[in-house]
Structure 1
C-alpha cells in the first residue's frame, strides 16, 4: 500500500452513504485476541514480538485474506500519524516499541493490528449505522484467522486479554456520531449521563482521552465479560436510534425556532472556510461541523457530505503535510490547510456548475 496515495482517496467509512449517515459517520467493531503460546505484548521480548508478527502474518496469508501489511517499525512518525488519523491504527500501536504492524483491507474498512496491547486487534468499520453488517464481516474474518491460530481461550472466562476489561468476548462495539444540535442546545451532557448509567463509554474522534472536536462522539460498550457478542451489539443497536431521534428533534426545533440564526451560523462557517488564508485544525473541525449539519438540513446545496467527511480527515496535520509533500510547522500548516480547503470547496462548486 502506498501511504502517499491515501491522501488522494477516502476509506469506505467516509462515503457518507450508509444508513442514517446524516448523523452516524460509521459503525465499528473491534476484537482483541491473543496467541496461547506467547506472553502478552507488554511482557514479550522483541524476539517474541517478531515471532508473533511472523505467525500472524503467515495465518493471514494461509486464510487468503486480501490485506496489505505495513510494518510500523519501518514507518516514520508522519506516516504512523497518517494511519492514526485514518482510523486504521490506534495511537498506542503508533507510539509503541518493537516489532508491530497493521494489515489493511483495500477499502480501508478492515485492519488487523499486530502487537498492540493484545497480539491482535481486528477491526471492521463501515459507513453509517450498520452494526449487523459489520458483525458479519468481522465474525467471518475472526473465524478464518482462528482456523489458523491457537487463541488464548478459557472455557469459563472466554478470550483472554491483556486488559481485564476486555476478557470474555474481547469485543468493542462502537458508533461514531455527529451531534452538533445536541451539543449546541446544551442537551448533550444529559444524554451522556444516561449512557454512563448503562455502561456505555463516550469518547472523542480518536478514542480514549481525546476531545470531541467538531461535535463527533464515539459511543461504545465498556463491559465484555458475561455477555455475548450479539447481546452487546443489540444493546448498542437499541440505544443509538434513540440518540439519532434526539439529535433529529433538536435540529428540527433549532431550525424551527431560530432558522435565521442557524442559517447565519452555517453560512458564516461556509464563508470562512471558502475565504480563510490561515486556519487551525480545531477551528476547521468546528466550522466543518456546522457546514455538515447545514448540508443535511438543506441550507447548503452545492456541496456533498462525502467532501466534508474527507476534509475532516485530510486537514489533519499528517495528511496535510503528506499532501504538501513537506514537513510544516504549525503556522505553515494553518496556511496550507486554508489553501487546501479553498481549493477543495472550489472544485466542488465547479463540478456542480459543470453538471448544470
Structure 2
C-alpha cells in the first residue's frame, strides 16, 4: 500500500501536502496536563472501546487502522513517527499513558493524551483541505456520539491551549518555496499573512526555520470563525503564495538560468556519488534537484518522490531502515548509499 507521500498529487511543484487536525477534550476528565496516570490510561481505553464499537463504520471512513502504544515504543520508533508527521514531539515525550491510532497508509491518525485528550488528524498529498475536513468530521461525530466533549455555548470546543479554543481546527498546507526562500522574501511574507490570521513556520512547526525551502502555512485563529471560513481564508492566501512563488521562479530562470542549471547538476552529482552526507546537506541538495525537475532542467524516465526521499533519510527513519541504532558517521554513509541508489539516471536533453 502506498503512503500518502508516495502518491502523485496536483500542483506538486509547489504544494506538498494538506492537513486537517481537530483538538478535542472529554468533559469527564481534566485537561491532559492534569491527568493522573490512571486517568490517562482510562482515557485511552475509553477511545479504544468506542472505536471498537464502530470498527466497521470507521474502516469504511479511513480504511484499516491499528493502535500504537507510545509509552511502550523505543526512542527511535517514536522519533520516526515524529519525522513522518504522525505524532508530535510532545506526544513522543509523554510520561503518562499515551497512544496513537493510525491507518496503514499513515493518512489518518488520532493522538491520544497529547496537549489535548484527542487530536484527530488527516493528511494527503496536494491541495485537499475540504475532503480532509469531511473525513475528520465523520470521525469526530462517531466519537462524540458516545463520549461527551468539553464544550461551551459561547466559546465552542474547550482546549488546553487558548489558541485552539473555538472550532479546535488547525488546517495547514505544506509548501515548497525555493524561489521565495532563496530571494529572502519569506520574512516579509510571514508579516503579511499574519494580518489575516495565518502563520508560516518551518517544516516541523518549530519557529520560522525552514528545511529545504519547505514551509507549513496554517490558520492561527480558531475562535469566531467557522470551519469553512477558516479553510477558505487559508486556501485564498495559499493561492496567492503559489502565484508569487511561480512568478519568482520565472524571474530567477529568466535572469540567471545558467547559475541555477549548474547548481542543479552539481547537486545531482553529489547525491549520486557522495560516500557520506549529513541530513541537512542531503535535504538542501534534494530541494535543489527538485527545482531542476520542476523547471524541466533535468528529466528522467520517472521522477523520484522527493518528499518520500526526504523523510526516509531523517535520522530515526534511516535507523529503522537499517534495523539498528547507528551513530552519526554510520548514518551519513547509509544516507549517501540510499540516495546513490534511489536517484534515477538522467535523460539527455
1:115 maps to what in 2? 113
2:38 maps to what in 1? 47
Deviating above 4 A after TM superposition, structure 1's stretches of 4 or more consecutive aligned residues are: 303-306
2:184 maps to what in 1? 186
Q: Find the residue that maps to 1:201 and give its secondary structure.
A: strand
Shift of the alpha carbon at 1:330? 1.2
Shift of the alpha carbon at 1:62? 1.8
Q: Find the residue that maps to 2:224 and give its secondary structure.
A: coil
2:62 maps to what in 1? none
Shift of the alpha carbon at 1:139? 1.5
Aligned residues: CA RMSD: 1.7
Whether the aligned pair in 1 keeps the contact of 2:71 and 2:94 (CA below 8 Å) is: no
Shift of the alpha carbon at 1:304? 4.6
Gaps (5+ residues) in structure 1? 1-8
* Structure 2 counterparts to residues 33-44 of structure 1, below 5 A: 33-44=24-35
Cα distance in 1 for partners of 2:340, 2:288 equals 16
Whether the aligned pair in 1 keeps the contact of 2:200 and 2:208 (CA below 8 Å) is: no
Bigger mean CA deviation after superposition, 35-44 or 293-302? 293-302
1:74 maps to what in 2? 72
What is the aligned residue count?
341
Shift of the alpha carbon at 1:303? 6.5
Gaps (5+ residues) in structure 2? 60-64
Whether the aligned pair in 2 keeps the contact of 1:10 and 1:310 (CA below 8 Å) is: no
Cα distance in 2 for partners of 1:50, 1:264 equals 56
CA deviations on 1:103-143 (whole Å, 9 max, x unpaired) are 11122110000000000010001111111111111111211
* Structure 2 counterparts to residues 232-251 of structure 1, below 5 A: 232-251=230-249
1:270 maps to what in 2? 268
Cα distance in 1 for partners of 2:86, 2:238 equals 23
Cα distance in 2 for partners of 1:71, 1:141 equals 20
CA deviations on 1:36-95 (whole Å, 9 max, x unpaired) are 101111000000001000001111222222321100111000000111111100111011
Cα distance in 2 for partners of 1:304, 1:48 equals 51
Cα distance in 1 for partners of 2:302, 2:318 equals 21
Bigger mean CA deviation after superposition, 200-209 or 31-40? 200-209
CA 1:305/1:72 → structure 2, altered by over 3 Å: closer, same or farther?
Answer: farther
* Structure 2 counterparts to residues 140-159 of structure 1, below 5 A: 140-159=138-157
CA 1:114/1:303 → structure 2, altered by over 3 Å: closer, same or farther?
Answer: farther
Which of 224, 227, 245 aligns to 1:226? It is: 224
Cα distance in 2 for partners of 1:245, 1:16 equals 24
* Structure 2 counterparts to residues 309-324 of structure 1, below 5 A: 309-324=307-322
Shift of the alpha carbon at 1:305? 4.8
CA 1:83/1:210 → structure 2, altered by over 3 Å: closer, same or farther?
Answer: farther
Cα distance in 1 for partners of 2:332, 2:6 equals 26
TM-score (norm 2): 0.94
Cα distance in 2 for partners of 1:85, 1:258 equals 35
TM-score (norm 1): 0.92
Shift of the alpha carbon at 1:299? 1.3
CA 1:296/1:208 → structure 2, altered by over 3 Å: closer, same or farther?
Answer: same
1:56 maps to what in 2? 47
* Structure 2 counterparts to residues 1-356 of structure 1, below 5 A: 11-12=3-4, 14-15=5-6, 17-64=8-55, 65-66=58-59, 67-209=65-207, 211-302=209-300, 304-345=302-343, 348-349=344-345
Shift of the alpha carbon at 1:335? 1.3
Shift of the alpha carbon at 1:19? 2.5
Cα distance in 1 for partners of 2:304, 2:91 equals 28
Whether the aligned pair in 1 keeps the contact of 2:178 and 2:291 (CA below 8 Å) is: yes
Cα distance in 2 for partners of 1:126, 1:279 equals 29
Whether the aligned pair in 1 keeps the contact of 2:275 and 2:333 (CA below 8 Å) is: yes
Cα distance in 1 for partners of 2:150, 2:282 equals 44
Whether the aligned pair in 1 keeps the contact of 2:219 and 2:234 (CA below 8 Å) is: yes
Shift of the alpha carbon at 1:16? 5.2
